[in-house]
Structure 1
Amino acid sequence: MPKAARGSRRRRLSMRFLLPMLLLVAMLAMLMLRGYVHSEILADHRIRPEAATDKVPDKILDGGPVIDTRGGRTTSLDVPDRDIVLTFDDGPDPTWTPKVLDVLKKHHAHGVFFVTGTMTSRYPELVKRIVDEGNEVGVHTFSHPDLSFQSKKRIDWELSQTQLAITGAAGIRTSLFRPPYSSSADAMDNLSWPVTEYIGTRGYLTAVNNTDSEDWQKPGVAKIISNATPRDGKGAIVLMHDSGGDRHQTVQALDRFLPEMQAKGYRFDNLTEALGARSALTPVTGVNLWKGKAWIFLVQASDNITDVLVVGLAITGSLVIARFALMLLLSVLHARRVRRKDFAWGPPVTEPVTVLVPAYNEAKCIENTVRSLMASEHPVEVIVVDDGSADGTARIVEAMDLPNVRVVRQHNAGKPAALNRGLANASHDLVVMMDGDTVFEPATVRELVQPFGDPRVGAVAGNAKVGNRDSLIGAWQHIEYVMGFNLDRRMYDVLRCMPTIPGAVGAFRTSALERVGGMSDDTLAEDTDITMAMHRDGWRVVYAEKARAWTEAPETVQQLWSQRYRWSYGTMQAIWKHRGALLDRGPSGRFGRVGLPLVALFMVVAPILAPLIDVFLLYGLVFGPTEKTFLAWLGVLAIQAFCAAYAFRLDRERMTHLVSLPLQQILYRQLMYVVLLQSWITALTGGRLRWQKLRRTGVVEAPGGPVPTQRSRSGSDDRRPVA
């Protein structure tokens, strides 16, 4: 292969991985932004204890509620007599801020809203309304920490982020500031005073209060009014809250307080109006304005996306629980039914069958495969269809010189074509299909064809087993096969809507195959395609648990990725191809009414949403509530472990491999998520896949040899796609 072509291929492979990962990273970034804006990240809820006051100037301690340390000044200002500056902290709040604004507007009064950056970012339209109605806004930090604990760098960050949010919300900048957890000027101490001095160097006028309504304690409307009323006609900066809890008493108190005090000659002005100073609000234009707007857009997007993700998480959780419940319940019913002593599909099936083995470069495996068939307890005719192999696969089979084994050669045309060629050469009405890397137990063929004693059965799915389970990847796939695939097949058998006959071990009536047109190459999942077609033609498709086949599964991450990419993409193709089943009527319409929706939900929708479980797990572990999040995740893991243990018990498998289940949930599932996401992207962008051969090791031996220690399953096909 030319160097340029190899480089191009490497780039395609990297993008195939990169794009799904970028989407997952973007989803995490949106959650991080939400946590940041909702004060779940970098939040600091420590509150300083009382400290000495010897370093605070007396004129500050004995002065007014407005402190000006700008330009090296140390000035204290009072509000004029009969002037009240109403101030509201911690907002804006979507419930209470509009009600406060309604009352102010009703009584032609103004106030100052000291907003946090987090609330401003979430509810920018309220800040705009505050400004548009003639009120002032001030900075109350971004995440409401006690600044006495914070570094100058953190203080600058709190100020700049809040200003960014205010700019994005209302297109203005403010020079007013109120520190969190502040009260009156005489409460200034050696810890808070240096912060106030530093705030002044950043261009801010600090406003505390000299009249606390104590509305946050909800003492009752009358008490709030009494607390907010200045004494002896003095001016006042009154502290109230429009956020942080139920503020209905605040709203009711305002509605009485304003007209009562106006009747006594009091004015309700903005702070700068009361001080006779120029407005604290200045318009912002240019790049800074667009930065603010971009910030608000991203925050709104993160909230909206998070809301969607939460809905998706709820859907995912419901689907996961529903699937587990269905699998457990229906697999119990299936096992009880088929394991009854008097159970029989019909008269025993003893007629010979044709076994089709499509083979493409299977030199390492084909001898074991054929010899396992020769040990069959059921009479078989074996047809090996060599699909243009270049490694001497056909010669190996011919050299074995076994009775009832034929080799049919053809130019490379793909697995569906090889199977159709084998069907054309089959001598019997019942055919078994298997992969070239798979071995059967002596009883496999016999068990696989017994359901054909029921004339309504058109196809039978066998029990595919991972043999190379001693490696970590093999153990994970072993759990997946036993727990997922085989429990699924029991469930779908009871529901009479089996979606897939595995390529590794399946059986068909040739008459049924002929009625649906044989194997199709319309999709990359020809096994799923043909199974759905048979349902639509009215045939029953069932599961034979004792028809065990040992198959070689992928042993590297790259091989596993490529195989599952084809499976998931091919399943999507098959669902789309047979979407008309939703409108089918009569007995054949059962698959469209039940099977197709379940396949779409459990095999396409649920897996693509499943990363949300782990994303929110990480989010909850880092940002809380950590304990509840961990317990919830353990609960989900416990349900999965219970299902896996039950599945292993049904299949009489050793439980030791379940030790790797927690690690599978952390690592293996994530790989499957990205693979499915990549398949979605390929489907939505109209991408095409081409076939590539999986590398075989030949580790699966025929019965009578060493115990199989299988590895990667080739699945429903013996080729692997790459993008």
Structure 2
Amino acid sequence: MTGREKRRRDPRGHWILLFLGALTLVGGLLLGGYAHGVVGESTQHEYTKSGSAPAAVADGGPVVNLSGGAPESVRAPRRTIALTFDDGPDPRWTPQILDVLRRHGAHATFFVIGAHVADHPDIVDRAIREGDEIGSHTYTHVDMASSSPWRIRFELDLTQRALAGAAGIHTRLMRMPYSSVPDGLSAPEYRAAQEAGRQGYVVALTDQDTEDWRRPGVDRIVQAATPRKGAGAVLMLHDSGGDRSQTVQALDVLLTRLSAKGYRFTTLSQAMRLPSADVPASTLDKVTGTALIDGQRWSGRLTGWLGVLFAIAGVLTTLRLLALPLFAHVHVRRVRRERRRRAGVRQEPPPPVSVIVPAYNEEVGLAATVRSLVATDYPAPIEVLIVDDGSSDDTPVIGARLERELANVRLVRRPNGGKPAALNTGIAHASHEVLVLVDGDTVFQRDTIGNLVRPLADPRVGAVSGNTKVANRKGLIGRWQHLEYVIGFNLDRRMFDVLECMPTVPGAIGAFRREALASVGGLSTETLAEDTDLTMAICRAGWRVVYEETALAWTEAPSSLRQLWRQRYRWCYGTLQAMWKHKRALVERGRSGRFGRRCLPYLTIFQVALPCLAPVVDVFAVYGMFVMNPLTVAVSWVAFTAAQAAAATYALKLDGERLRTLWVMPLQQIVYRQLMYLVVIQSLVTAVLGAPLRWHVIRRTGTFSEGDPLPSRVGV
């Protein structure tokens, strides 16, 4: 196969989908955050009160036209009241205010926040149908005096688009947030008003600010809203931003009382004899406005869903972190009890063992692997079969040399067919009933084989998982994998042993009863995770698969991110294949059903679903640092990391490892964990798309040399 053909076979399209999905997610979160005033929100600053507006504005009326050279302002005629409401629409209070207005035959102008319009477009549409008027109050209630001109234009433009999508209109009216009466206008606020004037808006202030947002009581609101001596006025009230029950009651009282005195209540434009503020929007603006509304609604739902996912992921992860040490403790007590029982019982002679080493281009570490197997203190006969799977390097040469030098070593050569085929060949050539399967880059300790095959004395046990240790743990990547291996073998596998649902006997170290292998037809070539596929098949066949913590094997882990990615990609993809292949175990009876209903849901939740959702949850957590309570998010992350560290500490102690490696855990949560999540996502998308995945060969660096001493219990 040429390099070009290989590149064609590698699935690349899902990276585009993943990028687009991430872009959509981030865009949705940012839109939701911006729309609800949490991304880029500016509050009113004290410096905005410095200076004042020109006398022509400060001493003029509450409605100002700044589009020309000189400001022009107007006032309401006598006994004419322009009711204005800010900060809406609100799904609770605005409809109540509209009901009061309709009951009294009055009309008002609503200065709406664009983000609220997008959330509740039906309320805006109702207000317009009932003869009320709409003005702009910016999109996020931004302090225009402290905003740049582009931000002001952006806020006003977004509000216009929201109005176009909600009711098919634009508006000529605008009221600046935090503004009030003309003589209270500061110099920076006046400059912001000028910018709005240049955009074609008429700026509305007020004659009488009721300050109803303070909730001073119905009587105080009515008193603040009542004009003196029959004067006309622009009244400022609020229909959103908190409990507006006093405003609703005060409005009813005000309309009843002043209508009896001959006051007329109308919109701002009608009161000032101005052209209607509401003008039809273009078709294009209606389309873009509808898209904006739909996008904001989707982002709101997305934020809600992510909040739920964040909570679910947190609960499940917490339960797992609590359960794993408990199961590990149960396993430790059971193992110790079993050892005490064996100590007082005469043991049967250990059986002879055949060790099978599949080797494809393993010239770097094969000799060290084989010599560690031969140097065992196992008292019964052993044979070591090297199965060369069509290697293109010096693997067969090294195998032939070892066969000549060591009496119990045999070399079997075959055309390249993959690891499962190589193992099946070795099993067929093996002389004994107990088989140990070992990777060609793995080194055993002297007591490993004896410890590994000991559980097979129980006739119910068909396979035994050993304890794999990372040998090359000097660098950061090595330390991350070391922690992962220690936690996986000393917590997860102990739990699987207790629950009798072991999913994987690792290819690096596993012991099998020939009868158990024969019962499932040997190793299958249908998946890329032949060890997981085999273990699941053995469990479904009714055999027990157990974990032996004292059977140690030292393996060379990938030393680069690229190699690590390729290895885990194959593992994860193969595990998905195996889970799908053995899905019927969920509905089967007996041991098979027990395995399926315990193991497969656990793998689905914690090795597929949560890793797929984890990047989304992490993005939401980062989003929460900026738009929510950052202390809550930070405390959650620290608590999660501390819980992970506590579980890792227990696992390291169980395995007799030093605790100093824990310093890499916080960085592991940020970098390594994300890498593993992306591996799961890539594997899942590849499986869904049905894209073929080639066998990825991991390049060995030669952690073990032929003359090196065997590793000790606590590391290399």
**Fold shared by both chains (TM-score > 0.5):** yes
Confirm whether residue 183 of structure 1 aligns to residue 163 of structure 2. no
Q: 1:471 corresponds to which letter in structure 2?
A: G
Confirm whether residue 556 of structure 1 aligns to residue 553 of structure 2. no
Shift in Å, 1:452: 1.3
Match of 2:54 among 53, 56, 77: 56
- C-alpha distance in structure 2 between counterparts of 1:609 and 1:628, whole Å: 20
8 Å contact kept, 2:52–2:184: no
- C-alpha distance in structure 2 between counterparts of 1:563 and 1:132, whole Å: 64
- Give the TM-score, by structure 1 length: 0.92
Confirm whether residue 153 of structure 1 aligns to residue 150 of structure 2. yes
Q: 1:271 corresponds to which letter in structure 2?
A: L
- C-alpha distance in structure 2 between counterparts of 1:493 and 1:484, whole Å: 12
SS at match of 1:72: coil
Change (3 A) 1:410 1:49: closer
Change (3 A) 1:256 1:592: farther
Q: 1:148 corresponds to which letter in structure 2?
A: A
Match of 2:219 among 222, 245, 257: 222
Shift in Å, 1:650: 0.8
Change (3 A) 1:261 1:294: same
Confirm whether residue 543 of structure 1 aligns to residue 547 of structure 2. yes
Shift in Å, 1:148: 2.1
8 Å contact kept, 1:348–1:450: no
**Cα-to-partner distance string for 1:181-214 (whole Å, 9 max, x where unaligned):** 1111222233322332332222111111122332
Confirm whether residue 342 of structure 1 aligns to residue 346 of structure 2. no
Partner of 1:658: 662
- C-alpha distance in structure 1 between counterparts of 2:713 and 2:24, whole Å: 40
8 Å contact kept, 2:61–2:75: yes
- C-alpha distance in structure 1 between counterparts of 2:98 and 2:521, whole Å: 72
- C-alpha distance in structure 2 between counterparts of 1:56 and 1:609, whole Å: 57
**Cα-to-partner distance string for 1:442-468 (whole Å, 9 max, x where unaligned):** 111111111112221111111011100
SS at match of 1:102: helix
Partner of 1:385: 387
Mark the runs of 5 or more structure 1 residues left unpaired by the alignment: 712-723
Partner of 2:361: 361
8 Å contact kept, 2:53–2:183: no
- C-alpha distance in structure 1 between counterparts of 2:584 and 2:3, whole Å: 46
Partner of 1:581: 585
- C-alpha distance in structure 2 between counterparts of 1:650 and 1:271, whole Å: 77
8 Å contact kept, 1:523–1:573: yes
Residues 126-525 of structure 1 aligned to structure 2 (within 5 Å): 126-340=123-337, 341-344=339-342, 347=347, 350-378=350-378, 379-400=381-402, 401=404, 402-525=406-529
**Cα-to-partner distance string for 1:460-515 (whole Å, 9 max, x where unaligned):** 11101110000111111111111234311011111221111111111111111211
- C-alpha distance in structure 2 between counterparts of 1:172 and 1:664, whole Å: 53
Shift in Å, 1:15: 5.1
Partner of 1:109: 106
8 Å contact kept, 1:48–1:148: no
Shift in Å, 1:52: 6.6
Partner of 2:66: 69
SS at match of 1:342: helix
- Give the TM-score, by structure 2 length: 0.93
Shift in Å, 1:686: 1.7
8 Å contact kept, 2:569–2:679: yes
- C-alpha distance in structure 2 between counterparts of 1:459 and 1:703, whole Å: 31
- C-alpha distance in structure 1 between counterparts of 2:376 and 2:527, whole Å: 32
Shift in Å, 1:14: 6.1
Shift in Å, 1:546: 0.6
Partner of 1:715: none
8 Å contact kept, 1:467–1:710: no
Shift in Å, 1:140: 1.0
8 Å contact kept, 1:87–1:114: yes
User: Alignment length, in residue pairs?
Assistant: 708
SS at match of 1:546: strand
- C-alpha distance in structure 1 between counterparts of 2:714 and 2:621, whole Å: 34
Confirm whether residue 80 of structure 1 aligns to residue 81 of structure 2. no
- C-alpha distance in structure 1 between counterparts of 2:261 and 2:508, whole Å: 91
Match of 1:99 among 96, 99, 113: 96
Shift in Å, 1:368: 1.0
SS at match of 2:340: coil
- C-alpha distance in structure 1 between counterparts of 2:17 and 2:439, whole Å: 32
Shift in Å, 1:240: 1.4
8 Å contact kept, 1:467–1:709: no
SS at match of 1:406: strand
8 Å contact kept, 1:551–1:710: no
SS at match of 1:71: coil
SS at match of 1:327: helix
Q: 1:354 corresponds to which letter in structure 2?
A: S
Partner of 2:653: 649
Match of 2:685 among 655, 663, 681: 681
Shift in Å, 1:93: 2.2
- C-alpha distance in structure 1 between counterparts of 2:348 and 2:706, whole Å: 26
Partner of 1:699: 703
- C-alpha distance in structure 2 between counterparts of 1:54 and 1:220, whole Å: 32
Identical aligned residues as a percent? 49
SS at match of 1:610: helix
SS at match of 1:483: helix
- C-alpha distance in structure 2 between counterparts of 1:572 and 1:50, whole Å: 60
Change (3 A) 1:169 1:436: same
- C-alpha distance in structure 2 between counterparts of 1:304 and 1:498, whole Å: 39
8 Å contact kept, 2:461–2:546: yes
Partner of 2:34: 36
8 Å contact kept, 2:445–2:711: no
8 Å contact kept, 2:44–2:178: no
8 Å contact kept, 1:469–1:710: no
8 Å contact kept, 1:121–1:169: yes
Shift in Å, 1:709: 13
Change (3 A) 1:545 1:228: same
SS at match of 1:191: helix
Change (3 A) 1:264 1:584: farther
Partner of 1:45: 43
Q: 2:396 corresponds to which letter in structure 1?
A: A
Partner of 1:611: 615
Change (3 A) 1:221 1:349: farther
Partner of 1:718: none
Shift in Å, 1:8: 4.8
Shift in Å, 1:597: 0.8
SS at match of 1:186: helix
Q: 2:600 corresponds to which letter in structure 1?
A: L
> Once superposed, which parts of structure 1, at least 4 consecutive aligned residues long, lie more than 4 Å away?
1-9, 12-19, 49-55, 343-349, 701-704, 706-711
Larger deviation, residues 344-353 vs 691-700: 344-353
- C-alpha distance in structure 1 between counterparts of 2:259 and 2:348, whole Å: 100
SS at match of 2:384: strand
**Cα-to-partner distance string for 1:84-138 (whole Å, 9 max, x where unaligned):** 2221111222332233333333443322111123323333333333333332211
8 Å contact kept, 2:369–2:441: yes
Q: 2:281 corresponds to which letter in structure 1?
A: V
Larger deviation, residues 383-392 vs 639-648: 383-392
8 Å contact kept, 1:82–1:234: yes
SS at match of 1:70: coil
Change (3 A) 1:126 1:432: farther
- C-alpha distance in structure 1 between counterparts of 2:518 and 2:620, whole Å: 49
Mark the runs of 5 or more structure 2 residues left unpaired by the alignment: none
